[in-house]
Amino acid sequence: MNETVRSYILIAGAATVLVALVVIWIRARRKTPEQREQERRSLLNAGGRIADGTVVDVQEMNAGTAPAQLLIYQYDVAGVTYHCSQDVTRLRHHIDLHSCRLGLRASVKYDPQNPGNSIVIAEGWTGLRA
């Protein structure tokens, strides 16, 4: 083999290794769904507007390996009624879902740019009223 061919092989091998390392680095930094949901709650808790809402239902659903607990609620923003649910499985130590009853008044934090994006509970805040 001549020197030019060897150089091309080395450059191609180095480029392949570099691409593989970048792909591994990007995948390692990818957020899990739980991390994305926690970030969404934090953003809404910090900068969301508050509206009056009502708890419609509390359901436990079997989603995969562990049951998911959903808090279903509704609220009005600018004459539009939003019906939403929030997975509160990871927040159950902050609330007692058995005390949540149909018609329970709640404060809802929502994104003013996207009012359908909302929460009733987050770490350090709850909109559920006794």
Task: Measure CA of the first residue to CA of the last residue in the chain; give whole Å.
Answer: 81
Residue listed under structure tokens 């159950």: 92
Coil, strand or helix at 88: coil
Tell whether 82 and 18 lie within a shared domain.
no
Helix, strand, coil percent content, the chain, rounded in steps of 5? 35, 40, 20
pTM value?
0.73
Residues 118, 41, 121: CA angle, nearest 5 degrees: 70
Let me know whether 37 and 80 are in one domain. Answer: yes
Q: Are residues 99 and 40 in the same domain?
A: yes
User: Same domain, yes or no, for 22 and 79?
Assistant: no
pLDDT given for residue 1 in this prediction = 64
Q: Are residues 59 and 121 in the same domain?
A: yes
58, 93 Cβ separation under 8 angstroms: no
What is residue 115's predicted lDDT score, i.e. its pLDDT? Answer: 95
Tokens of 92: 């159950």
| pLDDT the model gives residue 63 | 66
> How many domains does one find in the chain?
2
Residue pLDDT tens, the chain, 130 long: 678 888 888 898 888 989 888 888 887 778 888 889 999 999 999 999 999 999 998 888 886 777 888 899 999 999 999 999 999 988 877 777 667 778 889 999 999 999 999 999 999 899 988 6
The residue segments making up the domain with residue 106 are 33-126
